[in-house]
Amino acid sequence: MAIDLLLLIGLTISAVGSILKRDMVKAAIALALTSVILSVLMFRFSSPLAAVFELSVCASLITVLFMSTISLTKPLTKEKEEKRMPVRAWHIVVLPTLLIVAALLLTFVKIPMDFTAPPAVPSDVRSVLWNNRQPDLLGQILVIIAGFFGVLVLFKERLFRADRAEVWTQPVRSMSVLTPKESDAVGINSVEVREGTNLGEPLSRKS
């Protein structure tokens, strides 16, 4: 019981850390740590299958995806980082702290377990999933499709970042990729040049 409580506190701390960290890599690692602690808790709560899925998908696969995405982006300068993510730690830690304190206090309160738990029916997870929970699987497919469109709508590459107001007038080589030096010169992190664009002419900001 004490170990579970410690793990839950550790889980909360690493989850809050993943929000507060400005460095994206550290935030992704904190999130992975959260998933690892959660899978340990799941093992302790006699759910090995759920723990394995949590470990393999959330802690491993998702972290790899995050790291791959982060590696494709240029890190923000310190000034831009501070401008975008000002420290508001005391706002964010209040609620998790209150929840932890409330959970600790509840351990001293006797919650009346005045019910008779129905007998657990042993069943194979695979047959339960495929035979009994078909609507849930259908729903999962729909969520994945919705997520696909979410990524398409929210993260599709733009010609210019929305916060840039300048017109790009720098002449560049006729290649589709800017070197880091050229990116720094015009102050943008990445650019996608469409086929047929005349790179010698000033380009207007995409509305």
Q: Which is nearer to another protein, 2 or 152 (CB)?
A: 152
In sequence order, the 6+-apart residues with CB closer than 8 A to the CB of 191 are 159, 160, 178, 183
133 near another protein, rule: CB under 8 A? yes
CA dihedral 14, 15, 19, 21 (to 10 degrees): 10
Contact segment (CB under 8 A) with another protein among 17-25, 148-156, 169-177, 194-202 equals 148-156
Rounded CA gap, 41 and 54, in Å? 11
Amino acid at 101: V
How near is the Cβ of 175 to another protein at its closest, in Å? Answer: 26
- Interface with another protein: number of residues (CB under 8 A): 29
- Rule CB under 8 A: choose which of 79, 114, 124, 195 binds another protein: 114
Contact segment (CB under 8 A) with another protein among 16-24, 27-35, 58-66, 129-137 equals 129-137
- Rule CB under 8 A: choose which of 87, 104, 143, 167 binds another protein: 143
48 near another protein, rule: CB under 8 A? no
Contact segment (CB under 8 A) with another protein among 100-108, 147-155, 170-178, 188-196 equals 147-155
Phi-psi region of 135 (alpha: psi -120 to 50; beta: other; left: phi over 0): alpha
- Rule CB under 8 A: choose which of 117, 165, 171, 181 binds another protein: 117
Rounded CA gap, 168 and 183, in Å? 11
Q: Which is nearer to another protein, 140 or 190 (CB)?
A: 140
- Rule CB under 8 A: choose which of 2, 105, 109, 146 binds another protein: 146
97 close to 16: Cβ distance less than 8 angstroms: no
Rounded CA gap, 198 and 1, in Å? 67
105 near another protein, rule: CB under 8 A? no
What is the 3-state composition of the chain as percent helix, strand, coil, each rounded to the nearest 5?
60, 0, 40
124 near another protein, rule: CB under 8 A? no
Using alpha carbons, select from 167, 161, 156 the residue that is nearest to residue 188: 161
Binding site for another protein (CB under 8 A): 111-115, 117-119, 131, 133-136, 138-143, 145-147, 149-150, 152-154, 156, 162
